[in-house]
Structure 1
Amino acid sequence: MKKWMLTLPVALLAAVLAGCSQSSPAAGGDKSIKLAYVAWDSEIASTNVVKEVLESKLGYEVEMLQVDAGPMWAGIADGSADAMVAAWLPSTHASYLDSYGDRIEDLGPNLNGTKTGLTVPAYMDIDSIEDLKNADTKSALSGSIIGIEPGAGIMMQTEAAMESYGLSDYTLVESSSAAMVQQLQKAYDSKQPIVVTGWTPHWMFGKMDLKYLEDPKGAYGGEEQIHTMVRQGLKEDMADAYAFLDAFEWSAEDMAEVMVAIQDGEAPEEAAKQWVESHAEQVDAWLAGAAQQ
């Protein structure tokens, strides 16, 4: 699997991940590992599955660090965190990739065929981002695009898209992933107009009839991949964990199983455990390299 070496300035994450010092099983025999992630439904699903495999199959104690996208990248680069399975490339997290240099190791994609963009209910009579410039459409939407956490890659993409499409009279509302979906569901249930920052895989596309607005200017790029990133030195410190993370790859359908179970009321840890138990052959394939360490 092709690996890229990336960069990052020193210690950007110190205030966010205070006390999260790097540990090394090789040095001290303590099999502990820190996984950074953002609170997107997709990353909650994938990170909990990785956590379950590391704990139940490889005997690690896993600490999950929920942070925003910038601190997530920073934590891997400065060693405050060991790994993440949540890097959306080449477009969504492009600015972090550009900024953070040669202090991260890219283990390649763990999921192919992702997409980001502005999303509306299918009942809305608009099809393109260009249509948002219509005065009646703007009025119906109260001049608002509902976003997620500030600093998220999709928020930076949306700011650039608004500039590219001449939507400076719109407001990009900072929110959270959960709050965005709540507002979308409320509008959907009452057939009200709404536009949100959306991405797939996401369970909301299975629960509601939604569509991406066409993006003729290519502001959001094309299909993307989600990559696994690890700190430098992980291979030497935790060879079995590194081998598993290098092999970890699944499909949007796999991820959707976990996301839907969580949305239906399962705790993320339990949903991940059930998925791992019911996909033993796939998990064993991930672990084949780790068994040789």
Structure 2
Amino acid sequence: MSKSKVKYAGLALSLAFGLIIAGCGSDGRGEGNGSQDELEIAYVERDSEVASTYVISQVLEDEGYDVTVTSIDNALMWEAVANGEADGMVSAWLPLTMGEQYEAYADQVVELGHNLEGAKIGLVVPEYMEADSIEDLSDEASQTITGIDAGAGVVESAESAVEEYGNLKGWTVQTSSPGAMVTELRRAYDNREEIVVTGWSPHWKFQEYDLKYLDDPDGVFGEAETIDTIVREGLEEDAPEAYQILENFYWEPEDIEEVMLAIDNGAFPEDAAVDWVKENQDKVEEWTEDIE
């Protein structure tokens, strides 16, 4: 995906400013005549979203579109699609994880349905730990839950769990980043130390390590979720073929975890996407069916 341009989450403010300017100028978008050939797909810098965004962007590029993929803060991602500064995203965890953002922008975006089902969030520990439920926790892992970035839905749910469960009195949620969380998990796992992390599926860590979700009897983390595709208003008129491909995009947890694991093992996201697309043409043909 040589044409794809990646902007990192640490530049979120610069991105927001740049997106606003881009939205005011010429960006290759059509005037409702199906002429748009440049697309911008926004995503949050998490392993599952990196995998799905690069794969669908590769498919779109193979169909002739010039695709820019933009890593951006969660709240800015929703705002960018709602304002038409980005064309879409395949990263909407619903109904709980990004439910607040969906409620805020639902009437300004177009929801194209699920691209993956069976997604889940919760507290995750190694199988060698004795705890099987959140209620079993007492003083493990120095009473610390290792989280990801502040404001992430799974982190907010973890903070709610600390308030909801009486046995978690005195516990703290330590925020960091997805990469830092995985580093801590790997270190603890290799040394068979206790650790509690904010986890989500799909994620390659469940293929790499023997892990388990802690039961959540109070339902703080909600039920199984879906990952949905969201696009800006007007995309169907401006780029009908791209709209159709995005609407058709749907795969299984084992598909996305295959791409995620390849990236974790050292492949560049672009290369992992190219390899998966080449090896799964039957599925790609379902997404591009009837596209001229």
Question: One fold, TM greater than 0.5?
Answer: yes
Which residue of structure 1 lines up, in the alignment, with residue 163 of structure 2? 163
Deviation track 1:231-285 (CA, whole Å, cap 9, x = no partner) reads 1111111111101000000001111111111112111100100111111121111
Report the CA distance shift for 1:77/1:14 in structure 2 as closer, same or farther (over 3 A): farther
Which residue of structure 2 lines up, in the alignment, with residue 98 of structure 1? 103
Q: How does 1:119-130 map to 2 (within 5 A)?
A: 119-130=124-135
- 1:68 to partner: Cα distance: 2.1
In 1, the alpha carbon distance for the partners of 2:248 and 2:56 equals 11
Secondary structure class of the residue paired with 1:149: coil
Which residue of structure 1 lines up, in the alignment, with residue 267 of structure 2? 266
**Amino acid aligned to 2:157:** Q
**Amino acid aligned to 2:54:** N
**Amino acid aligned to 2:51:** A
2:75 alignment partner, one of 66, 70, 76:
70
Q: How does 1:1-293 map to 2 (within 5 A)?
A: 16-20=15-19, 21-22=22-23, 23-27=27-31, 29=35, 31-56=37-62, 58-132=63-137, 134=138, 138=139, 140-166=140-166, 167-291=168-292
In 1, the alpha carbon distance for the partners of 2:36 and 2:96 equals 37
In 2, the alpha carbon distance for the partners of 1:157 and 1:77 equals 25
Report the CA distance shift for 1:16/1:150 in structure 2 as closer, same or farther (over 3 A): farther
TM-score, length of structure 1 as denominator length: 0.89
In 2, the alpha carbon distance for the partners of 1:17 and 1:283 equals 32
Does the 8 Å CA contact 1:31/1:60 hold for their aligned counterparts? Answer: yes
Which stretch shifts more, 15-24 or 148-157?
15-24
In 2, the alpha carbon distance for the partners of 1:286 and 1:155 equals 33
Does the 8 Å CA contact 1:243/1:289 hold for their aligned counterparts? Answer: no
In 2, the alpha carbon distance for the partners of 1:210 and 1:67 equals 29
Deviation track 1:159-184 (CA, whole Å, cap 9, x = no partner) reads 22221113342111111111100100
Secondary structure class of the residue paired with 1:115: strand
Secondary structure class of the residue paired with 2:30: helix
Secondary structure class of the residue paired with 2:223: coil
- 1:15 to partner: Cα distance: 5.8
In 2, the alpha carbon distance for the partners of 1:233 and 1:152 equals 29
Does the 8 Å CA contact 1:239/1:290 hold for their aligned counterparts? Answer: no
Does the 8 Å CA contact 2:36/2:239 hold for their aligned counterparts? Answer: no
Does the 8 Å CA contact 1:46/1:85 hold for their aligned counterparts? Answer: yes
Deviation track 1:208-240 (CA, whole Å, cap 9, x = no partner) reads 110101000011111111000001111111111
- 1:141 to partner: Cα distance: 1.4
Structure 2, unaligned runs of 5 or more:
1-11
In 2, the alpha carbon distance for the partners of 1:209 and 1:229 equals 33
Point out 4+ residue stretches in structure 1 off by more than 3 angstroms.
13-16, 22-25, 27-30
Deviation track 1:40-97 (CA, whole Å, cap 9, x = no partner) reads 11111100001101112x2111111111221111111111211100101111111111
Secondary structure class of the residue paired with 1:142: helix
